[in-house]
Chains A and B, each alone.
Chain A
Amino acid sequence: MRAGNLLEVNGLKKYFPVQRSLASRLFGQRPGWLKAVDGVDLFIREGETLGLVGESGSGKSTLGRTVVGLYEATAGEVRFEGRPVKELSPQERKSFRQKVQMIFQNPYSSLNPRKTVRQILDVPLRMRGVPGPERPSEMEELLERVGLSRWHLNQYPHQLSGGQRQRIGIARALAVHPRFIVADEPVSALDVSVQAQIINLLMDLQEQFRLTYLFIAHDINVVHHISNRIAVMYLGRVVEIAGSEELLTAPRHPYTKALISAIPEISKIRRRERILLEGTIPSPLNPPPGCCFQTRCPEKKDPVCTQIVPTLKDVGGDHFVACHLY
């Protein structure tokens, strides 16, 4: 593990078993695997934000949940602060639980509808070992940090707006003093004007608490805004990682190029040449052989692309691409 890396992911795989009906099992069909994450290598430096973009079905959410330990990895390892998470003692695991937190996509289901804000924030404070009498003042401070105030404490989630709920979700994650936060599409369910508030908040908090983020989203503009580096996922694999500016201005992977050209732009004048991809992302139940993108790639080269899985290659300047063209 290199110095300065807070988190490393090596060859991480997460497969979900697919239930087949009893009848088809009787006829000898073996249970299938949904290969949500299929061999990912990543590292995240202390204090940086790594953006993770991809379309639905690319496995970006699964990757995030496997990294924080909500899902158990099928293969590969996650190293946090230099140590494999798998090898942590129960005591260390408890502290890992608090150092690593998650902010969820849906502000409607991420808060327990039957609990008041006070009850929601009480849990993490208790888990961190804050004694009862100190919790009210800690709660107030937390709420203030996320731009809410004391009298939200007695409210239920349904009495709050989407943006306010997302702030509570952020406060809950902050309450255990984490070092690393996985934000899974934290703004995609919010209105545009509220999105910007939450993005600013996340950036402010990062500065104040020296947090490290894995920021997952499908909106490249948002990811680009907040991230130092961006990883692009396709069908369970990372196809390209580069610095934010570099990725947007000089994408190498044909998929990244298409993805970036597909974003509608505000100014009509500097319209890029749009690369329209054919078809849709293949099913992770039955991924194509060779390069995962070969079925839609406009620059496909037979037979190498259809037979050999490309690995991430350093193309210079902290830029990695998994493509046979380079």
Chain B
Amino acid sequence: MLDIKHLSVKFKTRHGMVRAVSEVSLHLDKGRILGIVGESGSGKSTVLNAILRLLPEKDVLLEGRIIYEGTDLFALSPQAMRAVRGKEISMIFQDPMTTLNPVYNIGNQIAESLKIHGLYRGRERERVLELMQEVGIPSPENRVLEYPHQFSGGMQQRAIIAIALACEPKLLLADEPTTALDVTIQAQIVELLRKINRTHHTSIILVTHNLALAADLCEEIAVMYAGRIVEKGPAEVILQDPRHPYTRGLLSAVPLPGITHGARLTTIPGTVPDLADLPPGCAFHPRCPLAGKECARLVPEPVEAGDRHVLWCWRELN
């Protein structure tokens, strides 16, 4: 249902063009959950914003195509794009505190996208209550008139999910939806997303820095580094048999109960590169334990490592 083909996003800045995303191709079938995992500056959120064309058009150069159910989103007029946003594809943001408008009550905010798209006319209120029920906000009749500050962080995130679900979108983009939340609340939100996926067959793209979280929810995972996908494949494969040195490094850098206690953690030396000043060739090569001469010269070509498992690395060829 969603096909991202050779997406590149360049930002115009005072220091020239900065490539935030390069040559990203992804495919998502109906009812599936895809995870995009990466550290800060990997371009993972930019991909989501590019799908909905939420990036400021005058400062951004988009290349490639995004095909949603047969239509090229980049070719749509701004009006047509507005019809897609919220109705076909909707988005959940990281910070519930800043996503909700503090001066409108929750009910109004959920009803707003219904009004924009002219859905459920005349029975908006019932729909809002139904949505609040669905996302697990207790006693919706009482809470529909409350304001965001009367909600806890977890409840705010549920309200945001209710807003995103209002028009029954076919695709839900979730940008670090649990990062601002506590672990026990995080678990609640993950269960909610899973339930939405199962009951409505809503496809989900989850963007996160937390590999374990992606593993928990997603069927497929793409790992991004410095604007490029370095490895993608089924979640179990990525987690149990990662082939890219970066994915391996990322996995072994996370402490695991019962395995790493008290021992030194394996680390990736150095830091994530500045997008304005990327190393040539494979962007990971300065930090890579396996790097060789070709890594510093050429950007790696995709390699099939198994069923639906692809990676971009010169060293894994052999």
Direct contact of A and B (CB under 8 A): yes
Partner-B contacts on A (CB < 8 A): 55-56, 161-164, 191-197, 199-200, 203, 218-222, 224-226, 244-245, 248-249, 258-259, 261-268, 274, 276-277, 279-281
Do the beta carbons of A192 and B39 come within 8 Å of each other? yes
- CA A281 to CA B155, docked complex, whole Å: 12
Do the beta carbons of B271 and A194 come within 8 Å of each other? yes
Would you list the 10 A-B pairs with minimal beta carbon distance, nearest first?
A225-B255, A55-B182, A196-B253, A262-B187, A193-B268, A196-B265, A191-B39, A264-B212, A264-B216, A196-B267
Q: Within B114-150, which residues are at the interface with A (CB < 8 Å)?
A: 138
Taking the closest CB of chain A, its distance from the CB of B66, in whole angstroms, is 27
Contacts of B29 in A (CB 8 A): none
- CA A200 to CA B269, docked complex, whole Å: 12
Q: Which one of A199, A248, A249, A264 contacts B215 once the chains associate, using CB atoms below 8 Å?
A: A264
Contacts of B256 in A (CB 8 A): 221, 266
Contacts of B138 in A (CB 8 A): 279
The answer to whether residues A222 and B182 also contact, given A266-B215, A267-B240, A277-B188 and a CB cut-off of 8 A, is no
Q: Within B259-287, which residues are at the interface with A (CB < 8 Å)?
A: 260-262, 264-269, 271-272, 287
Do the beta carbons of A196 and B266 come within 8 Å of each other? yes
Do the beta carbons of A259 and B255 come within 8 Å of each other? no
Question: Would you give 26 A-B contacts (Cβ < 8 Å), ordered by A?
Answer: A55-B184, A56-B153, A191-B209, A192-B253, A193-B250, A193-B287, A194-B272, A195-B253, A196-B267, A218-B182, A221-B254, A221-B255, A224-B255, A225-B262, A244-B261, A259-B184, A262-B183, A264-B212, A264-B215, A264-B216, A266-B256, A267-B215, A276-B187, A280-B154, A280-B182, A280-B185
Q: Can you add 15 more A-B contacts, CB < 8 Å, to A193-B249, A196-B252, A199-B265?
A: A55-B184, A192-B253, A194-B271, A194-B272, A196-B266, A200-B265, A219-B183, A220-B257, A244-B261, A245-B258, A258-B184, A263-B183, A264-B213, A266-B239, A274-B187
Contacts of A162 in B (CB 8 A): 271
Considering only CB atoms and an 8 Å cut-off, how many residues of chain B contact the other chain?
49
**B36 lies within 8 A of chain A by Cβ:** no
Contacts of B236 in A (CB 8 A): 268
**B251 lies within 8 A of chain A by Cβ:** yes
The answer to whether residues A193 and B182 also contact, given A200-B267, A225-B260, A264-B190 and a CB cut-off of 8 A, is no
The answer to whether residues A266 and B266 also contact, given A191-B272, A276-B187 and a CB cut-off of 8 A, is no
A contact patch SS: helix
Do the beta carbons of A193 and B239 come within 8 Å of each other? no
Q: Which one of B153, B255, B257 contacts A280 once the chains associate, using CB atoms below 8 Å?
A: B153
Pick the most buried of B39, B211, B239, B255: most chain A CB atoms within 10 A of its CB.
B255
Do the beta carbons of B264 and A164 come within 8 Å of each other? no
**B191 lies within 8 A of chain A by Cβ:** yes
The answer to whether residues A222 and B255 also contact, given A161-B271, A265-B216 and a CB cut-off of 8 A, is yes
Pick the most buried of B211, B253, B260: most chain A CB atoms within 10 A of its CB.
B253
Contacts of B185 in A (CB 8 A): 55, 280
- CA A197 to CA B39, docked complex, whole Å: 15
**B108 lies within 8 A of chain A by Cβ:** no
In the complex formed, the residue of B with least CB distance to A255 is B184
- CA A279 to CA B236, docked complex, whole Å: 31
Do the beta carbons of A203 and B264 come within 8 Å of each other? yes
Contacts of A197 in B (CB 8 A): 267, 269
In the complex formed, the residue of A with least CB distance to B217 is A264
- CA A249 to CA B259, docked complex, whole Å: 13
In the complex formed, the residue of B with least CB distance to A191 is B39
Q: Which one of B254, B257, B261, B287 contacts A192 once the chains associate, using CB atoms below 8 Å?
A: B254
Q: Which one of A161, A199, A262, A277 contacts B255 once the chains associate, using CB atoms below 8 Å?
A: A199
Do the beta carbons of A193 and B272 come within 8 Å of each other? yes
Pick the most buried of B191, B256, B260, B261: most chain A CB atoms within 10 A of its CB.
B261
Contacts of B186 in A (CB 8 A): 262, 264
Do the beta carbons of A265 and B183 come within 8 Å of each other? no
**B105 lies within 8 A of chain A by Cβ:** no
In the complex formed, the residue of B with least CB distance to A164 is B271
Do the beta carbons of A267 and B239 come within 8 Å of each other? yes
Do the beta carbons of A280 and B155 come within 8 Å of each other? yes
